[in-house]
């Protein structure tokens, strides 16, 4: 019976892009989320990378998340436009141990908004991840709520790829928002 029910499940695919400066933990967050693993050694992403996570959203809907991991070194470069194409959501990531990576978020956001939108010019849902929360949370910008509000960011989370903090919650929040646009 279960098998038959599953055959009738509606299957959706959403493309999400994960962006932010080099070394903030984009690849680590995706790896934690898709493989349940974390590595403390830093392997710089070249160009872009890609991973899939399947969510049994409810009894009727299965969602395949295509997570696109762009190299921080691509910084608002010519490639990002190709990478963003058909994105249905975005996670902006900064590193709580390096305040300058939060400053860059505005630039990533401008690049994103300029290059991708939904039909009708609607902004794609975007969340903000303050990563490496296992090291410190004292550096969460005091104006982060206002920043999100001003920039149409739907939610922010302190995350840790190392200790698996708030990554599931964040991705569910983004997926729920994307689902409304479907």
The residue from 16, 17, 28, 102 that contacts ligand GTP (CB under 6 A) is: 28
123: its two tokens: 């902004």
The residue from 162, 176, 177, 179 that contacts ligand GTP (CB under 6 A) is: 162
User: Shortest gap between Cβ of 70 and ligand GTP (angstroms)?
Assistant: 7
Build a one-symbol-per-residue string for 8-27: x at contacts with Mg ion by CB under 5 A, - elsewhere: ------------------xx
Choose among Mg ion, ligand GTP, none what residue 22 binds, the Cβ cut-off being 5 to 8 Å by kind: ligand GTP
Using alpha carbons, list the distances in angstroms from residue 67 to 7, 49, 53, 138: 24, 8, 8, 29
Report how far residue 180's alpha carbon sits from residue 61's, in angstroms, rounded to the nearest whole number: 13
**Segment contacting ligand GTP by CB under 6 A, of 24-32, 81-89, 120-128, 169-177:** 24-32
7: alpha, beta or left? (left if phi > 0; alpha if psi -120 to 50): alpha
The answer to whether 138 touches 101, Cβ cutoff 8 Å, is: no
Q: How many CB atoms lie within 10 A of CB 139?
A: 16
The residue from 45, 104, 159, 175 that contacts Mg ion (CB under 5 A) is: 45
Which stretches of the chain bind ligand GTP, using CB under 6 A?
Answer: 22-28, 39-42, 44-45, 71-73, 131-132, 134-135, 160-162
């Amino acid at each position: 019976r279960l098998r038959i029910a599953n055959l009738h499940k509606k299957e959706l695919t959403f493309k999400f892009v994960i962006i932010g400066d080099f070394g903030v933990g984009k690849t680590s967050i995706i790896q934690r989320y898709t493989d349940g693993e974390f590595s403390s050694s830093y392997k710089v992403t070249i160009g872009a990378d890609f991973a899939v996570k399947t969510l049994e959203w409810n009894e009727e809907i299965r969602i395949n998340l295509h997570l696109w991991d762009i190299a921080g070194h691509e910084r608002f470069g010519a490639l990002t436009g190709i990478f963003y194409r058909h994105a249905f959501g975005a996670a902006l990531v900064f590193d709580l141990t390096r305040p300058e990576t939060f400053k860059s978020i505005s630039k990533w956001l401008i690049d994103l908004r300029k290059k991708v939108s939904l039909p009708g010019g609607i902004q794609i849902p975007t969340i903000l991840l303050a990563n490496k929360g296992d090291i410190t949370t004292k550096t969460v910008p005091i104006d982060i709520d206002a920043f999100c509000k001003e920039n149409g960011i739907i939610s922010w989370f302190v995350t840790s790829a190392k200790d698996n903090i708030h990554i599931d919650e964040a991705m569910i929040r983004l997926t729920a928002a994307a689902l409304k646009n479907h």
